[in-house]
């Protein structure tokens, strides 16, 4: 993956492992999940290294930090404009690639220019709904 050159980070085995894990990842993992997934290949890599790399990636625009879960931050390698569906039962997060035309009332838009939106839709996923029906 050539992401580190694109955002100006030094190439290290730890960063490459994190980049590889995030590349195409749609699970919106936490730092702890990333660390756990990579630890078997790089047992000497610390959780602090994962946090530091994610912080740097966020600052350079390489990931979006999601604060949907107040207990832990999640990371999204898709930095393009999109929205999220969040299951309140299991915490699963799915991307929505739809455009919503948000129009602010004139009383607000007069003093504010809207250039970006991120909508979070909360509900229950099919898997959790089916589990509840069975119990």
Per-position pLDDT tens, the chain of length 135: 345 445 777 888 999 999 999 999 999 999 999 999 999 999 999 999 999 999 999 999 889 999 888 888 999 999 888 999 999 999 899 999 888 878 888 888 888 888 778 889 999 999 998 887 777
3-76 classified as CATH 3.40.640.10: no
Q: How many residues comprise the chain?
A: 135
Decide which of 3.30.1490.190, 3.20.20.70, 3.30.40.10, 1.10.1200.10 is the CATH code for 83-134.
3.30.1490.190
- Distance from the Cα of residue 21 to its chain's centroid: 13
CA quadruple 99, 96, 123, 33: dihedral sign: negative
Whole-prediction pTM value? Answer: 0.80
- E runs forming strands in the chain: 64-66, 74-76, 83-87, 93-96, 120-123
3-class SS at 86?
A: strand
Structural domain spans, the chain: 3-76, 83-134
Question: Pairing relation of β-strands 83-87 and 74-76?
Answer: unpaired
């Amino acid at each position: 993956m050539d992401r580190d050159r694109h955002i100006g980070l030094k190439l290290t085995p730890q960063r490459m492992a994190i980049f590889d894990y995030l590349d195409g990842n749609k699970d919106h993992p936490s730092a702890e999940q990333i660390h756990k997934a990579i630890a078997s290949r790089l047992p000497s890599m610390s959780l602090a290294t994962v946090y530091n790399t994610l912080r740097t990636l966020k600052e350079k625009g390489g990931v979006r930090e999601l604060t949907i879960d107040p207990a832990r931050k999640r990371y999204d390698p898709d930095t393009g404009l999109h929205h999220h569906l969040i299951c309140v039962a299991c915490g699963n997060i799915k991307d929505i690639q739809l455009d919503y035309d948000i129009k602010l009332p004139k009383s607000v838009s007069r003093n504010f220019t809207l250039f970006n939106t991120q909508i979070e839709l909360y509900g229950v996923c099919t898997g959790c709904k089916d589990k509840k029906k069975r119990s």
